[in-house]
Chains A and B, each alone.
Chain A
Amino acid sequence: MSKIKFPSSILLVEGPDDQHVVWTLLQHHKIEENFSVLEKGGIEDLLKTVPVQLKGSELRQLGIMVDADENIAGRWQSLTDILRKAGYSGLPARPDDAGTIIDQEGKPRLGIWLMPDNRATGMVEDFIRFLVPVDDALIGHARHCVQNIDDSNRRFRPSYLSKAEIHTWLAWQEHPGTPLGQAITKKYLDAHCHHATSFMAWIRRLFGDHGAGDAQGGFAPLNPHQERDAPGPA
């Protein structure tokens, strides 16, 4: 018996922060959690996992949510190289702004989301930055502080500016140091802003065939038909 709850529907993410952000957004958007979010502890292990996941006999949908980092074209290239080797053809030359979905006959449905928004360089923290309410008084202050650290005292890479900014901002909330996912729960962040809604639409398109949102609120009860097939005498 698989330890994974939904072995046929998998979303691969880089780390625990990404995982919690996805889980919390699902909750806020009242989308049934009908897929498993697996965190791979970094981009390298995630990329190694992709071809093996795609060979799994139960897989029906695979989502890949990774940071665009500093080179979005390079990240896209390394992903599509792996997918081409796994038998996918006709891969788009660049990511779809709304999140890429690839349906190929006889293959699991593929979804790719490059954090933050499939266009910009960056990472999950940049996505979270989009979720800060527009009228927030502190975010500008946080940005100012972080940007004004002089080079001799700045201990993080320049590409981590937005990461430092969001964590600085989180340090100034009612409960300082709240992790990203919980910051959504505690409503420091706006789970229904345009960027969050767009990400959730991608999730629905990817996994939605067998589970639209539950209008009643909270998690919908598990549909028994979505359970893993009985592992008969395979």
Chain B
Amino acid sequence: MPKQLFLYGLEIKGFRPFKQLTLPTLSRVNLIVGKNGLGKTSLLEAIQLFAAEGAVSKIGEILSSRDEIFVKHVRGRDDGVELDSLFFGRPDLDLEFPELLISSLGPDATTLNISYCRSVEETKQSDDGTVYTKIRRLIITKENTVKGAAPTLKIKYGDRELLLPFEMVSFEMIRPHRLSRGRGSDATFPFQYIPADGLSTSDVTFLWDEVALTDDETVIYEALRLISSDIERVAFVGSPGEPDSRYAMAKASGQRKPVPLRSLGEGINHLLGIAVSLVAARDGLFLVDEIDNGLHYSVMTRMWTLILEQSRKLNVQVFAATHSLDCIRGFQAATAALGASDALLIRLEGKSGVIEGVPFDPAELRIATEEDIEVR
């Protein structure tokens, strides 16, 4: 039952470290590798921004996750200095009107185009002199002389266009909260993201509550048992009056009393985060940075087996980044054991912002592993 992928290919121009990035082929499960600074994390951000159709909250999340903005007030300023990091080469926004493009390739190709410009608001009076309409007009000239011109983001997704003057955007309101609450939020395509430093306990708790008592619980237990095979049940507990500070307790077979899940080993919280995110990403996207985070190499193959199987069942397209050779070997072993063809390892390479993806399908990855060819 081959289902459609969200992204069959991807092209990025002008976004953060990418002057140009082209990934002509993507698969259901994509493992991204490449040297530091080539933009693995930025690629994951670009995919989220595209899936969120350029939602301003996502832009704020991306900037805040790299400490580009915190509660820096933008209102009243016209230099837009915080936004320059969104664009390749950090252009001087006083002098340039940069734009970035994120395009899906293949069937239903669509482009997200975010550009920096200036706009003015004009009031128009209708012929009978009674009705006023406010319209926002884009200023084409680069001169900063038009009175009242406001720094503006033009966000175009497909054929929908939005002019967003900074006066109306309060980045202050955007908390550095990186968990997209999927369907409920302004993300029009459901996706879940685990940043390199993992999900917070409250993020995991929130996602757990979505899964608890559903059939999908089995996926969670399957994941946890990769590390601790005798886990019977998990519950989230908290102190009265502190509903936000719940944490996971686990009961192992043969044990009378539950123990904190964290005590069961390094990496188990990360694995819990992966499992709940994967389930929450049903019919959508799951993105995870440094997926090997804290996981022992012996777990890698089983983790990838779980992800490959569940991504098919849950119809989720997966993008994961890693530096770890053990993680790559686990990925290869899992694809070989399952005979999976819907997986791809992609190495980012290039220089001066012109990046391409070198893909290895499971058959090529098998040869590379057998012959000790460095794919990273």
Knowing that A52-B368, A55-B360 are A-B contacts, what are 5 other residue pairs whose CB atoms are under 8 Å apart, sorted by A's residue number? Answer: A4-B372, A7-B374, A55-B364, A55-B375, A58-B374
The 11 listed contacts between A and B (C-beta, < 8 Å) are A2-B374, A4-B371, A49-B367, A49-B371, A51-B364, A52-B373, A56-B374, A57-B376, A231-B325, A234-B33, A234-B34
- A56–B375 touching, CB < 8 Å: yes
- A233–B36 touching, CB < 8 Å: yes
Which of A3, A48, A51, A57 is close to B347, meaning CB atoms less than 8 Å apart? A57
- B367–A52 touching, CB < 8 Å: yes
| B325 contacts across to A, CB distance below 8 A | 231
| B251 contacts across to A, CB distance below 8 A | none
Q: How many residues of A contact B (CB 8 A)?
A: 18
- B364–A2 touching, CB < 8 Å: no
- A234–B375 touching, CB < 8 Å: no
Tell whether B90 is near chain A: CB-to-CB under 8 Å. Answer: no
| B372 contacts across to A, CB distance below 8 A | 2-4, 7
Q: Shortest CB–CB separation between residue B152 and chain A, in angstroms? A: 40
List A residues at the B interface (Cβ < 8 Å): 2-4, 7, 38, 48-49, 51-53, 55-59, 231, 233-234
Secondary structure of the A contact surface, majority rule: loop
| B360 contacts across to A, CB distance below 8 A | 52, 55
- B367–A234 touching, CB < 8 Å: no
Tell whether B349 is near chain A: CB-to-CB under 8 Å. Answer: yes
Do A56 and B349 form a contact, CB below 8 Å, given A233-B323, A234-B35?
no
- B375–A53 touching, CB < 8 Å: no
Q: Please list the 7 inter-chain residue pairs (A to B) with the smallest Cβ-Cβ separation, ordered nearest first.
A: A56-B373, A52-B367, A58-B374, A52-B364, A234-B376, A3-B372, A2-B372
- A55–B358 touching, CB < 8 Å: yes
| B375 contacts across to A, CB distance below 8 A | 55-57
CB-based nearest A residue for B373:
A56
Do A38 and B374 form a contact, CB below 8 Å, given A55-B360, A234-B36?
no
Task: Mark contacts of B313-328 with chain A using CB atoms, 8 A cut-off: 1 yes-contact digit, 0 otherwise.
Answer: 0000000000101000
| B374 contacts across to A, CB distance below 8 A | 2, 7, 56-58
Q: Shortest CB–CB separation between residue B367 and chain A, in angstroms? A: 4
CB-based nearest A residue for B351:
A106
Q: Shortest CB–CB separation between residue A59 and chain B, in angstroms? A: 8
**Cα separation A56 to B367 with both chains bound (whole Å):** 11
Near A by CB (< 8 A), chain B positions 314-354 give: 323, 325, 347, 349
| A2 contacts across to B, CB distance below 8 A | 372, 374
Near A by CB (< 8 A), chain B positions 90-105 give: none
**Cα separation A89 to B358 with both chains bound (whole Å):** 18
**Cα separation A5 to B61 with both chains bound (whole Å):** 45
**Cα separation A38 to B368 with both chains bound (whole Å):** 13
CB-based nearest B residue for A2:
B372
**Cα separation A7 to B349 with both chains bound (whole Å):** 18
Q: Shortest CB–CB separation between residue A48 and chain B, in angstroms? A: 6
| A55 contacts across to B, CB distance below 8 A | 347, 358, 360, 364, 368, 373, 375
- B373–A234 touching, CB < 8 Å: no
**Cα separation A2 to B372 with both chains bound (whole Å):** 6
- A38–B36 touching, CB < 8 Å: no
| A59 contacts across to B, CB distance below 8 A | 373
